[in-house]
Amino acid sequence: MKKKICILGSTGSIGKSTLEIISKNRNDFDVILLNGNSNFRLLISQAKKFKPKYIYSSNFYLTEKIKYFCIKNKIIIINDLNLLKKIKFDITIAAISGIAGLLPTLNIIKFSKKILIANKESIICGWKFIYKELKKNNCSFVPIDSEHFSIFNLIENKNMNSIKNIYLTASGGPFFGKNINLKKVTPLQAIKHPNWKMGKKISIDSANLMNKILEVIEASLIFNLPISKFKIIIHPQSLIHAVVEFKNGLSSMLYHHNNMKIPIANSLYSNFYINKASSNNLSFKKNLSFHDADIKKIPSIKILKLTKILNDKGFILINSLNEILVEKFMENKILFTDIVHKLLSILDSKVVKNHLKNHQIRHIKDVFKTYNFSRSLVN
Ligand code: NAD
Ligand code: MG
C-alpha cells in the first residue's frame, strides 16, 4: 500500500528534497497534504504534479493566490490543521523554517503515525510539548537534521549511560579559514554555504556557527543529555555528521554524502537503497579532516558557556533572539557580526536575567510570550 504523506514546508529546501525522492518512487507514496508560505507558483506546480487532497496555509495572501486553482482541481485549502478530519498520515515531514513551525508541528502529530522533524527551532522552543503529544498519540519520531539523524542511528540499542561525549561536526561555513572582514559580509555572501544547499535562515546560521549552537541544544533535548556532553568540531568536508564517544574506549561515527536526501530517504523507507533517491555518485571519499572549534574565532560558542541561560526558557530566548537578529541582518539593518554580539549582550542583560527568574514555560502560549519578549529586546 502507498504511504500517505504530509509535508509541512513543501516549498523549502527540505520539502523539495523530499518531493524529489517521492517523484522517483511514485508507487510507494501518495502525497496527501502540501504546505507553503509565500512561493505560490512553486506550491501550485507541486500540487499539479502530486495532486494532494489538501493544501494547508495560514498565509492569507498565498491562499488568495491559489484559491481558483484549488477549486478547479478539487483541492481543499485549510488554514488550520485542526480542520483535518478522519485522516492518519503514515509519514509527516515537518520542515517549516523557524519558530513558525512549532504550532503546525504540534498540531499535525495527532494525525500522523510517524513524524520526521527537520525544523530544529520547533524542537528547541517546544520539545516538552512535542514529546508529550508524540507519546499521547503514539506517533514515532525521527530527527532528520543530519547530525541528529546520525546520533539517533549511532546510539540505537545502546545504554545512554555508556556515552562519554558526542561530537557534532560543523563545516565552518563559507568564511572558515578565510581572511576576510566579517563586518563587511553581505547577506548574499553569508547564504553561500560551501557544502549544503539550504534555506536562507539556516545558511546564515551556518555562517556564524549559530546553527551548531542550536543543534547542540536540539540534541540535548532529543537525547535527554546535558549540554556539557556535546562538543563542536570543525569538519570542512561535512561527510561525518556526528561522533559518539563511548566510555569503553570505542567511538562510532556516521558517514554519508552531504546531501539531505540521504537522511530523509532512510527515514521514509525502512530498507532504503541509494538509487531510489539519487543517481549522483555518492562514493566514499577518503580525505577527511577535523579541527578544534576555536572560541576566540567563533564567538557564538560562548553561548554554550552561559550555564544560567541553558534551560527551557533560555533556549527559547536564544532561538527567538537569533531568529529576529537574522531577520534584521537580512534586511541590512545590522552587520553580520552584530547577530552574535547583540545576542550575547542581550542574554547577559539584567532584564533577561529577571525574565528568566520570574517566568515559567507551563503552556505553549508561554513560548510565544517569550518570543514576543525577545522581539521587544531587539532594537
Ligand atoms: P527553507 O527556507 O528552504 O523552507 C522553509 C519552508 O517553510 C518553506 O516551505 C516556507 O514556505 C515555509 N515557511 C516559512 N515561514 C513560514 C511560516 N511563517 N508559516 C508557514 N510556513 C512557513 O528552509 P529549509 O532549509 O528547508 O529548512 C527547514 C527547516 O529544516 C529549518 O528549521 C532548518 O533548520 C531545518 N534543516 C534544514 C536543512 C537543509 O539542508 N535545508 C538541514 C537540516 C535542518
Ligand atoms: Mg544539521
Q: pLDDT per residue over 19-41, tens digit each?
A: 999 999 999 999 999 999 999 99
Alpha-carbon span 245 to 160, nearest angstrom:
11
pTM, entire model:
0.96
Q: Which ligand is nearest to the CA of 59?
A: 1
What are 150-161's pLDDT values in tens digits? Answer: 999 999 999 999
Protein residue whose Cα sits closest to atom 39 of ligand 1: 198
Q: What is the DSSP letter of 331?
A: T
The answer, yes or no, to whether any atom of ligand 1 lies below 6 A from the CB of 125, is no
> Would you say residue 78 has pLDDT above 80?
yes
> Would you say residue 45 has pLDDT above 90?
yes
CB 15 within 8 A of CB 37: no
Using the mean position of ligand 1's atoms as its centre, give its distance from the Cα of residue 11 in Å.
Answer: 8
What does the pLDDT read at residue 285? 80
Using the mean position of ligand 1's atoms as its centre, give its distance from the Cα of residue 50 in Å.
Answer: 20
Task: Kindly state the helix (H) or strand (E) to which residue 354 belongs, with its residue range.
Answer: helix 350-358
CB 246 within 8 A of CB 162: yes
Using the mean position of ligand 2's atoms as its centre, give its distance from the Cα of residue 241 in Å.
Answer: 8
Which atom of ligand 1 lies closest to the CA of 203?
A: 25
> Would you say residue 145 has pLDDT above 80?
yes
> Would you say residue 279 has pLDDT above 70?
no
Q: Which ligand is nearest to the CA of 327?
A: 1
Write the burial class of residue 99 (CB in 10 Å: 0-12 exposed, 13-18 middle, 19+ buried).
Answer: buried
Mean pLDDT of the chain: 95
Protein residue whose Cα sits closest to atom 4 of ligand 1: 12
Percent of the chain exceeding pLDDT 90 equals 88
CB 188 within 8 A of CB 198: no
Angle value at C-alpha 38, between 34 and 42, nearest 5 degrees: 55
> Would you say residue 84 has pLDDT above 90?
yes
What is the sign of the dihedral through the CA atoms of 290, 291, 297 and 301?
A: positive
Which atom of ligand 1 lies closest to the CA of 38?
A: 11
291-292/230-234 β-pairing: antiparallel
> Would you say residue 265 has pLDDT above 70?
yes
Q: Which ligand is nearest to the CA of 204?
A: 1
What does the pLDDT read at residue 277? 66
Protein residue whose Cα sits closest to atom 25 of ligand 1: 199
Among the residue ranges 96-100, 198-202, 292-296, the one predicted with the least confidence is: 292-296
Nearest to 367 by CA among 303, 313, 309: 313
Residue 186 main-chain phi, psi, to 5 deg? -95, 160
Among the residue ranges 111-115, 200-204, 270-274, 314-318, the one predicted with the least confidence is: 270-274
Using the mean position of ligand 2's atoms as its centre, give its distance from the Cα of residue 118 in Å.
Answer: 9
Using the mean position of ligand 1's atoms as its centre, give its distance from the Cα of residue 9 in Å.
Answer: 6
What does the pLDDT read at residue 271? 75
What's the mean pLDDT in 246-258?
95
What does the pLDDT read at residue 194? 80
Protein residue whose Cα sits closest to atom 36 of ligand 1: 118
Which atom of ligand 1 lies closest to the CA of 197?
A: 40
Percent of the chain exceeding pLDDT 70 equals 98
What does the pLDDT read at residue 276? 66
What does the pLDDT read at residue 95? 98
Alpha-carbon span 368 to 97, nearest angstrom:
16
For ligand 1, pick from 96, 217, 222, 327 the residue to mutate: most ligand atoms within 8 Å of CB: 96
Range 227-231 contact pairs with CB under 8 angstroms and sequence separation of 24 or more: 227/304, 227/310, 229/163, 229/164, 229/165, 229/166, 230/165, 230/166, 230/167, 230/168, 231/165, 231/166, 231/167, 231/168
Other Cβ atoms closer than 10 A to 191: 18
What's the mean pLDDT in 334-343?
97
Using the mean position of ligand 2's atoms as its centre, give its distance from the Cα of residue 120 in Å.
Answer: 9
> Would you say residue 104 has pLDDT above 80?
yes
For ligand 1, pick from 10, 14, 77 the residue to mutate: most ligand atoms within 8 Å of CB: 14
What does the pLDDT read at residue 69? 97
